[in-house]
A and B are shown apart, each in its own frame.
Chain A
Amino acid sequence: MALLEVRDLRVQFETPEGVVQAVNGIDFQVESGETLAIVGESGAGKSQLVMAIMGLLAENGSASGEADFKGRDLMKMPPKELNKIRGCEIAMIFQDPMTSLNPFLTIEKQMTEVVMHHQGLRKQEARAHAVEMLRAVRIPDPEERVKQYPHEYSGGMRQRVMIAMGLLCEPDLLIADEPSTALDVTVQAQITQLVGELRDKSNMSVILITHDMAVVAEVCDRIIVMYAGEMVETGTVDDIFYRPRHPYTQGLLASVPRLDRLSDDELHAIPGNPPNLLDLPSGCRFRDRCSMAREVCFGVPPLQVQENGCMSRCFIDMNNGEFLPAESKGVEENAGEDSK
């Protein structure tokens, strides 16, 4: 059984200008010990997707759908119970480290509180544990540094403190949202290794939201590609990197800057902007920017599923690259009819 199973998750926000459809019916699973990457354009709904699962949406937001974690639906759980799971069984590393660390408390205080609260350690033990964890995320001089305040850390060091805090309780699921201060290559390699060790030791699962395709290539098992609130493609790392089917995924991979290739001075960008979530176009949401778009794309593209679990939401046939007829139906619609 999957550790986490999300079904038909939707998130919307009320704003004075209208309703923002941030996440639009996402389904996915995370197996024990698996690392799942969620990638996609800025604003695609990656953060809000996990915020909804964790019950942390902003006041103007609302969510629907199911999120079964070890057999319990997180979406229906009373806040108090969810609170207990959060930070212990599920740890979350937020996108912005400075906004989730308390500027007025030392790192020691913030870290020891977590373990004293969740694991009932005594102060001395908690402190030793915190120092060990800081050492594990490569903070130099952890015995001294643990006494400092967040502003005395560099951006990348704060990010690592967040990771250390996330790992303190040895969670079953670690959700790491794209650090706005991406980690530098050396630390990244060390942390990747650390997370890998925990994965092997305690079968921890990881959901990694990131823009860094190199990290994805290195540490992830499966990838979900999101665009404008929808999952447009999913598959194993090899499938997505070597056999991307969806035009958006292909564009995304083409724009990755690479050190091992000659530099052309202009970086490749997918032309145009993502659609306005207040006023979504009918049919394929990527249509305005898709170089393959045809007449049929004014209809709703089907979600195609292959036997190995690869999916693509597009009129281009995953098997042969030909266009499907306009009336094609995806799994969702078919499943809907079956149950009727």
Chain B
Amino acid sequence: MSNPVLRVQDLAVNFCSHTGGFLRRKERVLRAVNGISFELHASETLGIVGESGSGKSTLARAILGLIKPSRGRVMWLGENLTELEEEALRQKRKEIQIVFQDPVASLNPRMTAGDIISEPLWTFYPNMAGLQVEERTRGMMKMVGLLPNQINRYPHEFSGGQCQRIGIARALVLNPRLVICDEPVSALDVSIQAQIINLLKDLQKKLGLALIFVAHDLSVVKHISDRVMVMYMGCSMEVSQRDALYRRPLHPYTSALMKSVPIPDPKLAAKARQDRWLTGDMPSPYNPPRGCIFHTRCPYKVKRCEADVPALRRMENGDWVACHRAEDLDLSI
């Protein structure tokens, strides 16, 4: 197999905050991302799922160098991005792009849709002819299902889903080699979701685009991913091939997430609600549980889980899991 284009090694991000009064000052550390490793090949899609607050957006930002990691490396085509100077890192934007989670807030309100989408072109290809830039911009708008005659409108004149698509068009305009999509389709109706996902898959086939696709929705991730990483409180619980994961999750947390997915069918919805067992709250991230980080909510917990941290290890089929009992549990769906 070819070499991976992206290799994330033991990446960690801590947020420190100070609490307590002037005299009893305490420093508290929130481990938002805690030792994540994975590889990604050209033309491959990695889905990342996990509950709200599990560190997905922070991981995405750290890979792009928008947050300084406290530990670890991000190897892009053999080069360590975490060691690059700002200017060198900025140059990498030609190759690596992000679609932000908060579509409206991430668009500059004083720029028109056309300016927002074409800005990367002006930045990286200052000699490109204006006509060509405009043509490309209109083409991008069409591709994501926006009307090219809206090119001179400002973000507040678009609907939520239209803003999200402006963000997607901007990320794709340079033909990047890696796009990190942070909940890119959550504000879109299912039909346009399908249109965007099919577009991304198409680009992947044509240009070998590598994708990281963050979503809370396991059914969307299922349609687009080759592999899926499941995160919980900053840690990776499982990294598996898509089909294997959806047929037989290895980690109790994955299985819990899967059982919690609401079903778009009023009659089945009531039953699904009963089957849902991922109850209890996520523990305080300032004071994470010892041992297995999931043990406070895990129905399969044994004595050992409270003391020993399960390492992320490779199973026979090549998938990765961090659970002491992965071999003896059968969590088939």
**Residues of A with Cβ closer than 8 Å to B?**
13, 15-17, 39-43, 46-48, 58, 60, 95-99, 138, 140-141, 144, 147-148, 152, 154-157, 160, 177-189, 211-218, 237-238, 241-242, 251-253, 255-260, 263, 265-270, 273, 276, 278
Within 8 Å CB of B97, what residues of A? none
Q: With both chains docked as a complex, state the minimum distance between the C-beta of A329 and any C-beta of chain B, in angstroms.
A: 30
Within 8 Å CB of B217, what residues of A? 182, 185
Q: With both chains docked as a complex, state the minimum distance between the C-beta of B284 and any C-beta of chain A, in angstroms.
A: 4
Assess whether A217 is in contact with B269, with CB atoms less than 8 Å apart. Answer: yes
Residue tally, chain B, CB below 8 Å to A: 73
Interface check B152, CB cutoff 8 A: yes
Assess whether A183 is in contact with B52, with CB atoms less than 8 Å apart. Answer: yes
Within 8 Å CB of A13, what residues of B? 157
Beyond A214-B264, A218-B262, whether A154 also contacts B53 by CB under 8 A is: yes
Q: A23 to B213: give the CA distance in the assembly, Å.
A: 34
Q: A35 to B290: give the CA distance in the assembly, Å.
A: 42
Assess whether B160 is in contact with A95, with CB atoms less than 8 Å apart. Answer: yes
Partner of A189, one of B191, B276, B285: B276
Assess whether A217 is in contact with B183, with CB atoms less than 8 Å apart. Answer: no
Interface check B223, CB cutoff 8 A: yes
Q: With both chains docked as a complex, state the minimum distance between the C-beta of A237 and any C-beta of chain B, in angstroms.
A: 5
Q: Which of B160-191 contact A (CB under 8 A)?
A: 160-165, 182-183, 186-191
Residue in A99, A180, A183, A216 whose Cβ sees the most chain B Cβ within 10 Å: A180
Q: A273 to B189: give the CA distance in the assembly, Å.
A: 13
Q: Which of B93-152 contact A (CB under 8 A)?
A: 101-105, 145, 147, 149, 152
Within 8 Å CB of A140, what residues of B? 53, 281-285
- Sample of 12 further A-B pairs with CB below 8 A, known A40-B189, A180-B164, A278-B149: A138-B282, A154-B58, A155-B52, A182-B216, A183-B52, A184-B50, A185-B260, A211-B161, A242-B266, A255-B190, A255-B194, A268-B191
Partner of B286, one of A39, A60, A141, A256: A141
Kindly list the 3 A-B residue pairs having the minimum CB-CB distance in the complex, ordered from nearest.
A156-B52, A42-B161, A267-B194
Chain B minimum-CB-distance residue to A209 = B160
B 9-22 to A, binary, CB cutoff 8 A, 1 in contact else 0: 00000010101000
Assess whether A180 is in contact with B186, with CB atoms less than 8 Å apart. Answer: yes
Within 8 Å CB of B164, what residues of A? 180
Within 8 Å CB of B218, what residues of A? 185, 259
11 contacts between A and B (CB under 8 A): A95-B160, A140-B284, A141-B284, A154-B58, A155-B57, A187-B51, A213-B264, A217-B266, A256-B190, A257-B190, A259-B258
Interface check B195, CB cutoff 8 A: yes
Q: A189 to B220: give the CA distance in the assembly, Å.
A: 18
Assess whether A252 is in contact with B53, with CB atoms less than 8 Å apart. Answer: no
Within 8 Å CB of A47, what residues of B? 159-160
Within 8 Å CB of B3, what residues of A? none
Within 8 Å CB of B15, what residues of A? 152
Within 8 Å CB of A156, what residues of B? 51-53, 216
Assess whether B222 is in contact with A257, with CB atoms less than 8 Å apart. Answer: yes
Interface check B5, CB cutoff 8 A: no
B 273-290 to A, binary, CB cutoff 8 A, 1 in contact else 0: 100101001111110000
Within 8 Å CB of A256, what residues of B? 190, 264
Q: A217 to B157: give the CA distance in the assembly, Å.
A: 31
Residue in A43, A177, A183, A241 whose Cβ sees the most chain B Cβ within 10 Å: A43
Assess whether A42 is in contact with B189, with CB atoms less than 8 Å apart. Answer: yes
Chain A minimum-CB-distance residue to B256 = A186
Assess whether A157 is in contact with B147, with CB atoms less than 8 Å apart. Answer: no
Interface check B207, CB cutoff 8 A: no
Assess whether B183 is in contact with A269, with CB atoms less than 8 Å apart. Answer: no
Interface check B86, CB cutoff 8 A: no
Assess whether A211 is in contact with B188, with CB atoms less than 8 Å apart. Answer: yes
Assess whether B161 is in contact with A257, with CB atoms less than 8 Å apart. Answer: no
Within 8 Å CB of A42, what residues of B? 159-162, 165, 187-189, 192
Chain B minimum-CB-distance residue to A59 = B156
Assess whether A155 is in contact with B266, with CB atoms less than 8 Å apart. Answer: no
Within 8 Å CB of A189, what residues of B? 260, 262, 273, 276
Assess whether A182 is in contact with B266, with CB atoms less than 8 Å apart. Answer: no
Within 8 Å CB of B191, what residues of A? 41, 251-252, 255, 268-270
Residue in A17, A154, A255, A267 whose Cβ sees the most chain B Cβ within 10 Å: A267
Assess whether B263 is in contact with A269, with CB atoms less than 8 Å apart. Answer: no
Chain B minimum-CB-distance residue to A142 = B284
Assess whether B195 is in contact with A269, with CB atoms less than 8 Å apart. Answer: yes
Interface check B298, CB cutoff 8 A: no
Q: With both chains docked as a complex, state the minimum distance between the C-beta of B36 and any C-beta of chain A, in angstroms.
A: 16
Assess whether A96 is in contact with B189, with CB atoms less than 8 Å apart. Answer: no
Q: With both chains docked as a complex, state the minimum distance between the C-beta of B270 and any C-beta of chain A, in angstroms.
A: 8
Within 8 Å CB of A251, what residues of B? 191
Q: A297 to B56: give the CA distance in the assembly, Å.
A: 47
Beyond A40-B189, A218-B269, whether A259 also contacts B219 by CB under 8 A is: yes
Beyond A189-B260, A189-B262, A217-B265, whether A273 also contacts B145 by CB under 8 A is: yes
Assess whether B286 is in contact with A218, with CB atoms less than 8 Å apart. Answer: no
Within 8 Å CB of A97, what residues of B? 102
Assess whether B282 is in contact with A155, with CB atoms less than 8 Å apart. Answer: no
Interface check B197, CB cutoff 8 A: yes
Assess whether A144 is in contact with B19, with CB atoms less than 8 Å apart. Answer: yes
Interface check B203, CB cutoff 8 A: no
Q: A266 to B284: give the CA distance in the assembly, Å.
A: 40
Interface check B80, CB cutoff 8 A: no
Q: With both chains docked as a complex, state the minimum distance between the C-beta of A80 and any C-beta of chain B, in angstroms.
A: 24
Within 8 Å CB of B197, what residues of A? 267
Partner of B186, one of A99, A152, A181: A181
B 186-213 to A, binary, CB cutoff 8 A, 1 in contact else 0: 1111111111011001000000000000
Assess whether A218 is in contact with B160, with CB atoms less than 8 Å apart. Answer: no
Within 8 Å CB of B182, what residues of A? 155
